[in-house]
A = this chain, B = another copy of it.
């Protein structure tokens, strides 16, 4: 604990806020110039369906769409306009950002060609999934170059559409300034699950290239919901972070120690219990260890909770109050705030107001980790460049109504992780 916070500024200096969850994308038609010409005829057909989709959403939910787009007319253009985007981030107090595809979450009009962003797993023709992904990645590279310290792009690599193609794309992305991660489809559909060894070339390439692997909230199991939105909302976090234990328990982080994985916009409230159950299985003195040892022994070398903050970070987006309270339990060194800009579910355009109410009881040093420094470490961002931006726009601790004298309790994490006592597990934190 103290080690994690060592050297973290406890003064009233402005916060370096990094949003671990933003979105950007061209208006659909404008992707044409980034798309290989062979795909233009199919692109034209797809555009027709996109416009039909928007019309349908307007018909179902027109009042909401109209109000959202009217009230946020300028800020929404920041999905593709870098100057507007910078001004909008400034106003929201956000210095840096981790950028995902699909700028428009309401009517889907800024989706990469063929829906190759958040919906890539559902594309049936793999050729189109890759063509759409490459088009977006070309544009994303340019877009991130408009303000290098500020923008870290997450490229599209739909690995369920072919591992070889994925490795080629990752190798092509490696070392490109501005590209700091890849997003894979949240679900593996009819392919082997992500714990299967056939994906090892993907993890190896990402570890080599220093690209963080992401799954992002969106896909779930629609056939199970009978059109009931509450069913979807109840389950979507499970489907989003399900790859976590696929990677962890299959030993991917041990075979590729530089591999990092971040589930995004599925909260963090579930993490403590996941670690409790996983640590108890692997580290506790109970029957499960014996039963499982023959199959899993040697596959993972540390306790599951010890991979959090090194190989696993959490794009927790707009953390709820209880998620902030559970920060020690879940990993003060792993949780990353995100605004979800320019989507409607997040804290934008009221991020600072939200922080003013919700972080009053959090020590400054911890707040710095949650709001930005964890992301700087996860993505190896340009800290000096971000400090320069934050100096002008970051809210200060006093603006967030925080007490500069509040300090972290030395045993805070140890006490939050109740299962170390319950299962007699040795504490190495």
Give residues in A with beta carbon < 8 Å to B.
Answer: 188, 192-193, 195-197, 223-231, 233-235, 238, 242, 245-246, 249-250, 269-270, 273-274, 276-278, 280-282, 287-288, 291-292, 295-296, 299, 320-322, 325, 344-345, 418-419, 422
Contacts and interface: CB of A to CB of B under 8 A. Distances in A.
A214 B84 CA distance: 55
Given A230-B282, A269-B276, A422-B321, A195 B225 contact: yes
Nearest to A345: B287
Given A228-B249, A269-B277, A287-B345, 4 more contacts: A195-B225, A233-B281, A235-B245, A322-B418
Contacts of A223: 193
A320 B229 contact: no
Contacts of A192: 226
Nearest to A288: B233
A231 B195 contact: yes
A249 to B, nearest CB: 4
A94 to B, nearest CB: 20
A292 B193 contact: no
Given A269-B276, A278-B234, A229 B195 contact: no
A226 B251 CA distance: 12
A322 B277 CA distance: 11
Central interface residue in A228, A233, A325, by most chain B CB within 10 Å:
A228
Nearest to A195: B226
Central interface residue in A195, A269, A344, A419, by most chain B CB within 10 Å:
A195
A59 to B, nearest CB: 13
Contacts of A422: 320-322
Number of copies: 2
Contacts of A292: 229-230, 233
A245 B231 contact: yes
Contacts of A235: 242, 245
Contacts of A230: 245, 249, 278, 281-282, 292, 295-296
A295 B229 contact: yes
Instruction: List 5 tightest A-B contacts by C-beta distance, closest first.
Output: A230-B249, A193-B224, A321-B422, A229-B295, A234-B245
A229 B276 contact: no
Contacts of A418: 322, 325
A53 to B, nearest CB: 18
B344 A287 contact: yes
Contact of A295 (B193, B195, B227, B234): B227
A229 B226 CA distance: 31
B322 A276 contact: yes
A228 B298 CA distance: 12
A291 B234 contact: no
Contacts of A325: 418
Contact of A277 (B234, B246, B273): B234
19 contacts: A193-B223, A195-B225, A227-B295, A228-B250, A228-B296, A229-B295, A229-B296, A230-B278, A230-B281, A230-B282, A230-B295, A231-B246, A231-B249, A233-B277, A233-B292, A234-B249, A235-B245, A276-B322, A325-B418
